[in-house]
Amino acid sequence: MNHDSPQITVVIPHYNGEEILRDCLASLASTCRLPLYIILVDNASSDGSVAMVRAKFPSVEIIQLEKNYGFAGGCNIGVKAVRTPFVLILNNDTIHAPGWIELLLAKLQSDEKIAVVQPKIRSFQNREYFDYSGACGGEIDIFGFPFAHGRIVEHVEKDKGQYDQFYDRIFWASGTAFLARTEILRKAGLFDETFFAHMEEIDLQWRIQLLGYDIAVEPKALIRHRSGFTLGAESPFKKYLNHRNSLLMLLANYRLLITMYIFPIRILLDYLALGFSVLNKDWGRVRAICKAHAWILFHPGHIFRKRRQVTSLRKVSDKQIMVRMYHGSIALSFYLFGKRRYLDILK
């Protein structure tokens, strides 16, 4: 790769999976003509990943950690080492279409208010369908439940180009792959390492929007993702992280009056989900919800510190942020009213 005056550093957090990492790095080399720095943050892998990178991709800088710091911790360590104006956060289980990074950079440079931009993300396994993790741009409802253009709850749409000319401002860009202004990520406080994995990018980008910046999607840029490679969809740990992290994000980022209005309704929705899970004998989700609520109950200090951090950087009101959200429950829209597509939500 050409390393003359790169503007972009690629940060790849990694934990095991030598083959997928090799595919990812080979894809980067063949699909991007821009000079890049690449930093691999290895979360104490136990396979031959690091040795493979040293042998086959010697230009990649490797940061080896003594334990698994998760996606959030690995990314933070990588971003702190970045010396370029732009940073690309990238999952190790992705492959890429030609020119995708150039398209993201052009989008970012087209408007100084855009701080983060993601590509269109399709499934690696089901190639005509969007990927669960971000699809064609992430959204969120006012109760903290995320969804995307092309994915509502578990329903993933076939990509027919229906979002290619869609409104390009979104609420969150998937941590699977996004290009960001390095300075803004740092100003917003980087990822909350308490999250470990799942929704930490939404939490961070909520704070970025509170600073007055926008999040965007560039559908012309395309990658494919092996979704669920690290934690499968039915992983009890993943279910727990999703429930806990959405609660933590909600409690941290709203002002107190909005929190007092939103949070009781969110708890009621969780109890409805709990009852539904009991009826369906989904004991993994039952335990996940109970464990998530217990964590929130016993960690008021962490919630207070996060709220104080958000207050210190806030430049935009909740009213301005909530305009960008879905003013309803995406779960109720999906399960009660049968709305399976983002375009249905808008009707």
DSSP state of 326: B
pLDDT in tens, 17-70: 999 999 999 999 999 999 999 999 999 999 999 999 999 999 999 999 999 999
CB atoms within 10 A of CB 346: 8
Beta strands in the chain (DSSP E): 8-14, 36-42, 61-64, 86-90, 94-96, 114-123, 138-140, 146-148, 151-152, 155-156, 169-170, 177-181, 214-225
Q: What percent of the chain has pLDDT over 70?
A: 97
Would you say residue 221 has pLDDT above 80?
yes
CA distance linking residue 149 with residue 100, whole number of Å? 19
| pLDDT at position 5 | 82
pLDDT tens-digit readout, 249-292: 999 999 999 999 999 999 999 999 999 999 999 999 999 999 99
With a CB cutoff of 8 Å and minimum separation 6, the contacts of 7 are 34, 35, 84, 85, 86, 105
pLDDT band at 3 (very low <50, low <70, confident <90, very high): very low
- The pLDDT tens digits for 302-344 are 999 999 999 999 999 999 999 999 999 999 999 889 999 999 9
Q: From the centroid of its chain, how far is CA 267?
A: 23
pLDDT (tens digit per residue) in 188-197: 999 999 998 8
DSSP class per residue in 102-167: HHHHHHHHT-TTEEEEEEEEEESSSTTBB-TTTTT-EEEBTTS-EEETTEETTEE-B-SSTTTTS-
pLDDT category of residue 230 using cuts at 50, 70 and 90: low
Residue with tokens 């910046």: 213
pLDDT, position 286? 94
Q: Is 194 in contact with 301 (CB distance < 8 Å)?
A: no
Our measurement of the distance from residue 213's CA atom to the centroid of its chain's CA atoms, rounded to an integer in Å, reads 17
pLDDT at 2 > cutoff 80: no
For the segment 220-229, the average pLDDT, to the nearest whole number, is: 87
d(CA 105, CA 119): 11
Ordered domains of the chain (ranges, CATH): 8-225 (3.90.550.10), 236-345 (no CATH)
Say yes or no to pLDDT of 115 above 70.
Answer: yes
Residues 63/36, Cβ–Cβ less than 8 Å: no
pLDDT at position 233, please? 55
| Mean pLDDT value across residues 225-238 | 71
Rounded distance, CA 139 to CA 202, Å?
9
Of 92, 98, 124, 126, give the one whose Cα is nearest residue 14.
92
Contact 73, 41 (CB under 8 A): no
Structure tokens, 37: 């720095």
What is the pLDDT averaged over residues 136-158?
96
pLDDT of residue 227: 77
Cross-strand pairs, 170 = 215
Distance of CA 93 to the CA centre of its chain: 14
pLDDT at 228: 63
pLDDT at 180 over 90: yes
| Cβ proximity of 170 and 81 under 8 Å | no
Q: How far apart are the first and last CA of the chain?
A: 48
Tokens 């950087």 locate to 313
Whether residue 170 is predicted with pLDDT greater than 80 in this model: the reply is: yes
Query: CA 290 to CA 277: how far, in whole Å?
Result: 12
Under the banding of pLDDT at 50, 70 and 90, the label for residue 347 is confident
pLDDT digits (tens, 9 = 90+) for 83-100: 999 999 999 999 999 999
Alpha carbon distance 324, 318 (integer Å): 10
Q: Is the pLDDT of residue 139 over 80?
A: yes
Mean pLDDT (the chain) is: 94
What phi, psi does 127 have (nearest 5°)? -65, -20
